Amino acid sequence: MVGFALLGAGRIGNMHASIIAAHPQAELLYIYDTHQISATKAAKTHGSFAADSVEQILNDDRVQAVLIATSTDTHVDLLTRFVKAGKAVLCEKPIDLDFKKVEACWDTIKNSAVPVQIGFNRRYDPSHRSLQEAVSTGEFGKLEQLIITSRDPGLPPIEYLKGSGGLFRDMAIHDFDLARFILGEEPIEIQVLGSVLVDKQVAEMGDIDSAMIIMKTATGKLIHINCSRRCAYGYDQRVEAFCEKGMLLSDNPHPNGLTKYSSDGTGSKGQLHEFFIERYQDAYRNQLGAFVEGLLAGTPVHPSFKDGLAAQALVEAAQEALETGLPVKLK
């Protein structure tokens, strides 16, 4: 058994709470939130205890691992403190919007043996993962082109967007991590084009809501990512790996198998999943499962802090390319 504490009792925190609570080898000892009422309520729902303070968790020897699902600006501080306390960390992405803080954090913890896993849940989606496995085993020969389609169902509230760090830091970071995961190597060049097509308010705050990215690796592999903040037919998340001997497509699952044939059209299914909590339900569960399994087996957990760092480096490069209008080379 692994003794867990959950930090953050918002919507995502509650999702994590129910996953930890349901895991046969995890025990959810504490839930903490600066908003005490949320912690208490979540603790009651999930059969756990509301911690009075972060210190209470830090000082409890039964706690072997923490899941950090608090607001982004608290991640680095909490992660550092728990790593120093010898407690394994599963931290929601991004580590921090300020890349320098992420680098500084890495300097602090890089010599620690405490396991740290970053919450790039999509790596644990059964379809995406099967694709990555098929690519890495070379089932269809070597990978040549990778195409990721990433469309959120609808624009978040403007207030949220203001603090989000922009489309690349907030949204595309998942796609950059997924690309690295599947490629098994690093992009060396990135080019981007961005637009405001969904809502003009996005332009006013200096952000974009639509983007197209192309990248290239040292071995010549080509990568395309397209993003939109709004998608009329649901949460559209596809990965296409074009290989020497074939193509692998991680297609959207359908929550309902009903298919209609009429004079209006044939083969029509319903909407895609509403958003990531529904779409990546299995991914979140498998992510925690892998974390617990790694802790119990004493093997490395993935994606690591370094993976988080590398994904954010791509994000920063994309941001620079957008701002300068020029290709950016990566080291």
Give the nearer residue to a second copy in terms of CB position, either 80 or 149.
149
- Interacting residues with a second copy between 73 and 102 (CB under 8 A): none
Least distance from a second copy to the Cβ atom of residue 8, Å: 21
If the CB atoms of residues 157 and 265 are measured against a second copy, the closer one turns out to be 265
- Contacting a second copy (CB under 8 A), which of 93, 123, 151, 169? 151
161 Cα distance to chain centroid? 17
Which of residues 70 and 228 has its CB atom nearest to a second copy in the complex? 228
Query: In the bound complex, what is the minimum distance in angstroms from residue 66's beta carbon to a second copy?
Result: 24
Query: Which residues, 179 to 208, sit near a second copy by CB under 8 A?
Result: 189, 191-193, 195-198
What residues contact residue 5 under an 8 Å CB cut-off, 6+ apart? 28, 29, 30, 31, 32, 51, 57, 60, 63, 65, 66, 67
Give the separation between CA 120 and CA 307, rounded to whole angstroms.
9
Could you give the CA distance from residue 72 to residue 120 in angstroms, rounded to a whole number?
Answer: 14
Considering the complex, state which of residue 87 and residue 279 has its C-beta at the smaller distance from a second copy. 279
Q: How far apart are CA 250 and CA 229, in angstroms?
A: 20
In which region does residue 138 sit, left (phi positive, over 0), alpha (psi from -120 to 50) or beta (all else)? left
Q: How far is the CB of 125 from a second copy (least distance, A)?
A: 8
Does 212 bind a second copy (CB under 8 A)? Our answer is yes
- For a second copy, the binding residues in 98-127 under the rule CB under 8 A are 126-127
In whole angstroms, what is the distance from residue 190 CA to residue 213 CA? 7
Smaller CB distance to a second copy: residue 98 or 199? Answer: 199
The dihedral over CA atoms of 29, 33, 38, 39, expressed in degrees to the nearest 10, equals 20
Residue list 269-288, contact with a second copy (CB under 8 A) = 269-272
Site for a second copy in 219-248 (CB under 8 A): 220-224, 226, 228, 231-234, 236, 242-248
In whole angstroms, the minimum distance from the beta carbon of 26 to a second copy comes to 14
Name which position in 251, 274, 278, 323 contacts a second copy (CB under 8 A). Answer: 251
DSSP code of residue 163 = T
Q: What is the C-alpha separation between 275 and 237, in angstroms, rounded?
A: 10
* Residue among 41, 81, 101, 254 that touches a second copy (CB under 8 A): 254
What residues pair up with 213 in beta bridges, in sequence order? 192, 225
Q: 222-228 and 236-243 as β-strands: parallel, antiparallel, unpaired? A: unpaired
Binding residue (CB under 8 A) for a second copy from 60, 77, 98, 144: 144
Residue among 111 and 262 whose Cβ is closer to a second copy = 262
Which of positions 12-71 make contact with a second copy (CB under 8 A)? 22, 24, 45
42: CB partners within 8 A, 6+ apart: 6, 9, 13, 14, 17, 31, 33, 48, 50
